[in-house]
Amino acid sequence: MAVKFRLGMMMFLQYAIWGSWSPVLSDYLINKLGFSGTQVGFIYSLLPLATIISPFIGGQVADRYFATQKIIAILQLVGGVLLVVGSRLTDFSSLAVLMLIYCLIYAPTLALTNSIAFIHLRNTEREFGQIRVWGTIGWIIAGLLLAGWRVAFKSFGLAPIAGDTLLLAGLFSLIMGLTSFSLPHTPPKKETTKPWAFLEAMRMLKDKNFAVFITLAFIVATELMFYYVMTAPFLTSKKIGVSSSAVSGVMVIAQIAEIFVMALLLPYFLPRFGIRTTLLIGILAWPVRYIIFVIGQPSWLVIASLALHGFCYVFFFTAAFIYVDRVAPSDIRASAQSLITFATIGVGNYLGSLFAGWIQSLFTGPEGTNWQAVFTVPAVITIICAFIFLLFFKENKISP
């Protein structure tokens, strides 16, 4: 098989696994198992926590001694078994421990799949996006497949499979584990990157403009988790009325919009209006979506607002990585990317998961969750971020 086809299939399965459980697991945990928001937030915080630790697993241990494709295969096979087992667990303690182990296994594969793609593509700037988009397609297909699975069971009068979101993720993981042995051979590297390489980029924080940027990126990353953790149970609440069977299919609207914005709008907008305007629109898209969630009606508008994820994620986070690459001195460019990743996907998403879960618990009483109050919190915080950005962020270069 052609190398690009195998790499595309790798990305498809990598993100189909994640997309099977991440968007709707919170709905299952809250509405089926009766977990509290704090407990759900804790479980969602485990993958961001694992991404902080994963350089020691993937970069410093695994790929020193074994071919990358074999590491991916073994990790995904073990992860698949864990997810299948996890689909049968119903108590918080057992599921939390299992998900911690699973996330520590899955997190290194996020970096390893990118690494194997970069190594085997001839022109990474032109070809990587073409390969990576299959990851988003995998996320979409997983959501649609889960919805179709549930609707089919319901139409035949069958009881839904408990933990089906984790079961589907486990099946995808097992498939990826088996197919990963056929990925292009990638022998272990003689030298690996430093796990805390972002520390080398800390000197960039001496620039006030970059300090403002990295602080706001961290805060916005915490508010991202309100979307990932709380949207599914919000959509399936009586206020919105999306069925649990269909919710995973409805939520892929966000990823479809993400592909459209990344492929068409960002390449057009960024060169014409600059990074500052692009980032500002990205920040402003967050409170717009959360304000619609707060209003909560009509339901079609709430569902349509999921498409704003394309602007929220691409115009802010994707543009943020581009900005860092532009302003960082050439000798610490890779370290600067490690810094922004650590601040957003790592610590930001970790604390954001805990914060979102705590807020949901805070505003949940005998009559259920006050979703208006829950989403008011990220709406206000992101509005404040937009004002701070507008007042203090200037588009400039950082001196070495």
Residue 308 is predicted with a pLDDT of: 94
Residue 399 is predicted with a pLDDT of: 44
Same domain? 145 vs 185: yes
Same domain? 204 vs 311: yes
The answer to whether the predicted template modeling score (pTM) of the entire model surpasses 0.85 is yes
Q: Checking phi first, is residue 372 left (phi over 0); if not, alpha (psi -120 to 50) or beta?
A: alpha
Query: Mean pLDDT per segment of 10 residues, for the chain of length 400 residues?
Result: 88 96 95 95 95 70 72 95 96 97 92 82 73 91 93 83 93 97 82 61 87 95 95 94 92 92 87 90 95 95 94 89 82 77 91 96 93 97 96 68
Neighbours of 111 (CB within 10 A): 18
Same domain? 15 vs 45: yes
Segments in the chain forming alpha helices (H): 3-21, 25-31, 37-54, 63-65, 68-86, 92-120, 124-155, 164-179, 208-235, 247-251, 253-260, 266-295, 299-304, 309, 319-327, 333-341, 349-362, 371-392
Same domain? 132 vs 152: yes
Q: How far apart are CA 119 and CA 186, in angstroms?
A: 8
Structure token digits, residue 97:
């421990």
Instruction: From 132, 166, 195, give the residue that closes a domain.
Output: 195
Q: How far apart are CA 20 and CA 17, in angstroms?
A: 5
Instruction: From 167, 195, 223, give the residue that closes a domain.
Output: 195
Same domain? 373 vs 288: yes
Query: What's the one-letter identity of residue 309?
Result: H
Q: What is the CATH number of the domain that holds 134?
A: 1.20.1250.20
Same domain? 395 vs 284: yes
Residue 196 is predicted with a pLDDT of: 60
Residue 204 is predicted with a pLDDT of: 86
Same domain? 107 vs 226: no
Number of domains in the chain: 2
Domain that holds residue 245: 200-400
